[in-house]
Amino acid sequence: MKEYLNIFMLPFPWNPYNKGNNPEFVFVDKNDNIFVCEAHLPRRLLKLSQNGTETTLIESKDGILQSCSEICVDKNENICVSDGDQLAVWKFDKNGKIVAGGNDYGQAPNQLFHPIGVTVCDGNGKGDGLNQLNHPCSVVIDSNEKQIYVDDGFNGRVVRSSTGAKKGEIIVNDDKNSNKPNERSRADGITFDADGNLCYRP
Domain boundaries, the chain: 2-101, 136-200
pLDDT reading at 118 higher than 80 = no
Percent of the chain with pLDDT over 70: 56
Highest-confidence range of 36-40, 93-97, 120-124, 179-183, by mean pLDDT? Answer: 36-40
- All residues at 6 or more sequence positions from 189 whose CB lies less than 8 Å from its CB, including other chains: 137, 138, 151, 200, 201
Among left, alpha and beta (phi > 0; psi -120 to 50; other), residue 80 is beta
Say if pTM beats, i.e. exceeds, 0.85: no
pLDDT by residue (tens digit) across 11-62?
A: 444 444 344 466 777 788 877 888 888 766 777 788 888 887 888 887 766 6
pLDDT reading at 166 higher than 60 = yes
pLDDT mean over 145-168:
82
- All residues at 6 or more sequence positions from 95 whose CB lies less than 8 Å from its CB, including other chains: none
φ/ψ of 68, rounded to 5, equals -150, 105
Closest CA to 145 of 162, 133, 132: 162
User: Terminus-to-terminus CA distance in the chain, angstroms?
Assistant: 20
Q: What is the mean pLDDT of the chain?
A: 69
pLDDT reading at 82 higher than 70 = yes
Under DSSP, is residue 112 helix (H, G, I), strand (E, B) or coil? Answer: strand
pLDDT reading at 135 higher than 80 = no
Percent of the chain with pLDDT over 90: 0
Query: Which pLDDT belongs to residue 130?
Result: 86
Query: Which pLDDT belongs to residue 177?
Result: 45
For the domain spanning 2-101, the CATH number is 2.40.10.500
- Range 121-124, long-range pairs (CB < 8 A, 24+ positions): 121/148, 121/150, 121/161, 121/168
pLDDT reading at 1 higher than 70 = no
